[in-house]
Chain A
Amino acid sequence: MAGRLSRTKIRALLIGPAAAVIGIFVVIPLMLMAWISIQGRDYSGGVIWGELSGEAYLRMIFERELDDSLAVNFNYVLIILRSVWLSFLTTVISLLVGFPTALFMATRTPKWKAILVFMVTLPFWTNLLVRNYAWILLLRDHGAINGTLSWLGIISEPLPLLHTQLAVAIGLTYSFLPFMVLPIYASLEKMDLRLVESAFDLYATRLMTLRRIIIPLAVPGIVAGCILVFVPSLGAYVTPELLGGGKTLMIGNLIGLQFGAARNWPFGAALGILLLALVMISLTFYALKLKNTGGNTQ
């Protein structure tokens, strides 16, 4: 009896720290965010605690006129759609660049693999802000790209590169590319290269081997990479701020604005919940996809 009791205690003690971490860092902040999103708005910032209101969620689609009637306002929907579109674009570009990179890396000798993985992770060693500023230097009107092109005589007027959706997509791709390369590399690296030989042996050309053997076996890595690029892109703040020049707002910037200049905490929190919902949807998609492919490569 005593032994049984102490076992329960031991279990509680063992689970305790993990539960505390999840509680303090995940559950409580999320509850707080959800709670704030349904509170009344304090116009000087913060919320009126205890005053329940659905105003923040209405505001995503409707605008309250002076006479208190609701009018449809698609401005915020547009920003949300733009966020999804830019994240999607980023994911596609990352995949197109990242897959060949990962395939190249996975087929090197062990020594070169280690060096290449190190090189892929190298950008993480510097600050994200600094790296985005570097792109400003490259993309601006008299920056490296426009400078080179006009020096070569290809263009006479500088191309409008900075402060465009393209600039944001390039910046996001650059920031999150390692998250695409590494999972794909991991799934390709453990693939048995004899499968490729085996496909060659069975009359498959290089292209066919890529299509029928290599890509299907890399699907778990591809899906993981897409999620890891899409999700943080959706909530990106720094890159659209710097490279979009305030013209190309994404959800992250909109949320930042609500807690800052706009002083609309409930709306900011509601947008946070929406972002969470979008992420959950893509993760559910990921889980279903994994289930369909059997969830393994071996």
Chain B
Amino acid sequence: MRDNTDNIAISVRGVSKIFDEGVNAFVALDNVSLDIGSNEFFTLLGPSGCGKTTLLRLIAGFEQPSQGQILLNGENLEQLPPFKRPVNTVFQNYALFPHMTIAQNIAFGLEMLGRPRQEINSTVDEMLELVQMKALADRRITQISGGQQQRVALARALAPKPKVLLLDEPLSALDLQLRKDMQIELKRLQLETGITFIFVTHDQEEALTMSDRIAVMQGGHILQIGSPRDIYEHPQHRFVAGFIGEINLLRATTGKATPEGLELRLGEMRGLEAKAKKQVSSGAKLTLAIRPERILLAGQDKEPLTGKLTNVVYHGTDTLYHFDLPDGQAMRARRQNSDKTGPEWKIGDTISWSAKPDSIAVLED
């Protein structure tokens, strides 16, 4: 959490949301708290049903929290209907008004706020410029492509200059190339406008590339909040480690304490050390997480740990090596193809490997 309370745009305090009270009750959010700074690109990441969209709808005002409060710049939003909140939403399927032109769609929010015509026209022009849609201003929504609709939805939501912009999986309907372009575009818009963006997605790559901070959610809880690097490098939770990127999860037992931290044993095999954050007694069972690209592979007997190759998959920029540990656990290691003549290891070969202590995360289950 952030310390500087002056720069907090949205503060979610102990919010729960329960749908269908009684026998069919479903807890969508369970006592969630978080602070989102102004000018921050904040992402709510999680699988479907984790509560991320519910949290977004609570901030927008489409739903009311069962418990807790949501504050915008320190002001309680409770009882404020959506049309009185200085918050705008980009909907998953854009929800553009089909009976209006692009310019009319963008002008709608400003008209509802009762802005003078002249101001509306100049803001609409400015927004069309911002999303590079000036030439199509008088087209109908039905006459433009999905990517263009996406831009119009953004322009429409940005036109009233909201304090916070909510984005509900806005890129999920676009094809891969367009999605990548829009990721860059969104980040540019956020930097140019200085508006707080709260972005909901289930796509971990999207979250990593755009966000200032990410909150990983599961089952109505926030598991971890941190910068993309933080979340990727130091997952604190088994689910977070598995959900973001590729990772090896290994059952291990603790050995004795070392100067580096903690010795770990994989079955009978020794030679792995982790930085222990808290005291763990010797012989305790725990789960390790190591990213495939952080594993150092070498020929037989060069590194302290061993494995037997079960599969080699060539990916162009890198090669993925699948191997089994002596105790039967399966692992994967990724190796950059930085020169043409890489090692020609074959399936069935015994290889050796190691990982640096700071590449190993010790997880809570």
Chain A residues engaging chain B, CB cutoff 8 angstroms: 192, 194-195, 197-205, 208, 212-213, 216-217, 293-294, 296-298
Chain B residues engaging chain A, CB cutoff 8 angstroms: 60-62, 81-84, 87-89, 91, 93, 95-99, 108-109, 112-113, 140, 142, 156-157, 160
Cβ-defined partner of A204 (8 Å) among B83, B91, B98, B140: B83
Return the chain A residue nearest B81 by Cβ.
A200
B160 touches A217 (CB 8 A): no
A204 touching B88 in the complex, CB below 8 Å, given contacts A216-B99, A297-B98, A298-B142: no
Contacts of B113 in A (CB 8 A): 203
Nearest CB in chain A: distance from B158 CB, A: 11
A201 touches B142 (CB 8 A): no
A201 touches B112 (CB 8 A): no
A202 touching B140 in the complex, CB below 8 Å, given contacts A194-B91, A216-B99: no
Which of A200, A208, A294 has the most chain B CB within a 10 Å cutoff? A200
B91 touches A202 (CB 8 A): no
Nearest CB in chain A: distance from B91 CB, A: 6
Return the chain B residue nearest A191 by Cβ.
B98
Nearest CB in chain A: distance from B196 CB, A: 16
B142 touches A296 (CB 8 A): yes
Contacts of A294 in B (CB 8 A): 99, 140, 142
B99 touches A203 (CB 8 A): no
What are 19 A-B contacts with C-beta separation under 8 Å? A194-B95, A195-B95, A195-B97, A197-B89, A198-B89, A198-B91, A199-B108, A201-B60, A201-B62, A202-B108, A202-B160, A203-B112, A203-B160, A204-B112, A212-B108, A217-B98, A297-B98, A298-B98, A298-B142
Return the chain B residue nearest A205 by Cβ.
B83
Return the chain B residue nearest A293 by Cβ.
B99
Contacts of A296 in B (CB 8 A): 98, 142
Cβ-defined partner of B88 (8 Å) among A195, A202, A212: A202
Known: A200-B61, A294-B142, A296-B142. 12 other contacts (CB 8 A): A194-B93, A195-B97, A197-B62, A197-B91, A198-B91, A198-B95, A201-B60, A201-B83, A203-B109, A203-B112, A203-B160, A293-B99
A197 touches B82 (CB 8 A): yes
